[in-house]
């Protein structure tokens, strides 16, 4: 009898220990323009954390965040259209359309209390998704983005920058990625990311970059009433005071010594900072 009771307690304890980090559930939904949008869902708990990848990447770039946060939260990673497992049937790769991809997943899963977390291009996408989901989003977190909400790029400069990608997308993307890391970065990691991004479909990469360069975040930032945070590398300056003047609420946290992919280069430090941000947004311990 004692042996049976002990075994029952052990099994019960294991179930409790693993309940918050259940196996991932992958699926797909249709966006507003009928493009298939892939996602992965894992964990339970509020607020739900929805992670949005950067330009020419995919949801796997959050692989070091999912197991950590799924212990306490519903965690969703999304493949924007044209990336990862999602569909390619889109003519214009706008930030608004990408935001609609995120909104379609959030609405399909009926997530009610959401923090959007976007890396690089995923940051502006998260801002636009927050505008589409005002009754569901309680905070927005940019990851090495939101350096300057007031900055816009002149058309001539945008045209010159895009021309290089149009001439040699793989080669220019490879060099572009290398410029995002300090000399001390893990060379194998840099090569892996450069290879991933250089292999992206050129039409998607160039189209998305064109729209990203033309994007003015100020109107969206002024409209959003929930807290906006940035977790940024110190490799590029962040205009904290300027951002605060444009946003309802803006705060920044910094990770010295890493490059653009802060969540991969130092996952433990990044996860700790994101834990802090989630606590500050929710007011919960």
Render pLDDT for 37-52 as a digit per residue (tens, 0 to 9): 999 999 999 999 999 9
Question: Could you tell me if residue 2 is inside a domain?
Answer: no
Pair 99, 125: CB distance under 8 Å: yes
- State the pLDDT at residue 245: 97
Q: Give the helix/strand (H/E) hosting 117.
A: strand 114-119
Question: Could you tell me if residue 179 is inside a domain?
Answer: yes
Question: Could you tell me if residue 65 is inside a domain?
Answer: yes
pTM of the model: 0.91
> Higher confidence at residue 107 or residue 9?
107
- State the pLDDT at residue 19: 41
Question: Could you tell me if residue 19 is inside a domain?
Answer: no
Q: With cut-offs at 50, 70 and 90, classify the pLDDT of residue 153.
A: very high
State mean pLDDT over 75-84: 97
Question: Could you tell me if residue 15 is inside a domain?
Answer: no
Q: From CA 2, how far away is CA 216, in angstroms rounded? A: 68
Collapse the DSSP code of 43 into the 3-class scheme (helix H, G, I; strand E, B; otherwise coil) and give the result. coil
State mean pLDDT over 268-284: 96
Question: Could you tell me if residue 114 is inside a domain?
Answer: yes
Q: From CA 104, how far away is CA 266, in angstroms rounded? A: 31
Render pLDDT for 208-218 as a digit per residue (tens, 0 to 9): 999 999 999 99
The enclosing domain of 228 has a CATH number of 3.40.50.1820
Nearest CA to 259 out of 192, 198, 197, 177 is that of 177
- State the pLDDT at residue 285: 64
The number of domains in the chain is 1
Structural domain harbouring 76:
25-282
- State the pLDDT at residue 6: 39
State mean pLDDT over 13-30: 61
Q: How far from 113 is each of 60, 107, 116, 128, 256, CA to CA, in Å?
A: 23, 11, 10, 17, 31
Question: Could you tell me if residue 200 is inside a domain?
Answer: yes
């Amino acid at each position: 009898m004692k042996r049976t009771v002990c075994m029952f307690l052990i099994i019960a304890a294991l179930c409790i220990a693993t309940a918050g980090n259940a196996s991932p559930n992958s699926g797909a939904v249709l966006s507003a323009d009928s493009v298939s949008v892939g996602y992965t869902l894992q964990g339970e708990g509020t607020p739900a954390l929805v992670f949005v990848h950067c330009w020419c990447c995919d949801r796997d770039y959050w692989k070091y965040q999912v197991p950590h946060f799924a212990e306490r939260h519903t965690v969703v990673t999304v493949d924007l259209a044209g990336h990862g497992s999602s569909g390619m049937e889109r003519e214009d790769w706008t930030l608004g359309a990408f935001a609609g991809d995120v909104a379609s997943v959030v609405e399909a899963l009926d997530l009610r209390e959401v923090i959007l977390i976007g890396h690089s291009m995923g940051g502006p996408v998260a801002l636009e998704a927050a505008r589409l989901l005002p009754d569901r989003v309680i905070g927005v977190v940019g990851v090495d983005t939101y350096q300057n909400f007031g900055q816009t790029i002149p058309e001539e400069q945008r045209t010159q920058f895009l021309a290089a990608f149009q001439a040699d997308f793989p080669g220019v993307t490879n060099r572009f990625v290398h410029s995002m890391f300090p000399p001390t970065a893990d060379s194998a990691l840099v090569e892996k990311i450069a290879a991933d991004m250089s292999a992206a479909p050129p039409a998607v990469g160039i189209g998305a970059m064109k729209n990203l360069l033309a994007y003015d975040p100020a109107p969206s930032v002024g409209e959003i009433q929930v807290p906006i945070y940035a977790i940024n590398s110190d490799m590029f300056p962040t205009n904290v005071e300027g951002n605060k003047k444009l946003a309802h609420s803006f705060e920044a946290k910094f990770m010295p010594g890493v490059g653009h992919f802060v969540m991969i280069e130092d996952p433990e430090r990044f996860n700790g900072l994101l834990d802090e941000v989630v606590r500050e947004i929710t007011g919960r311990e």
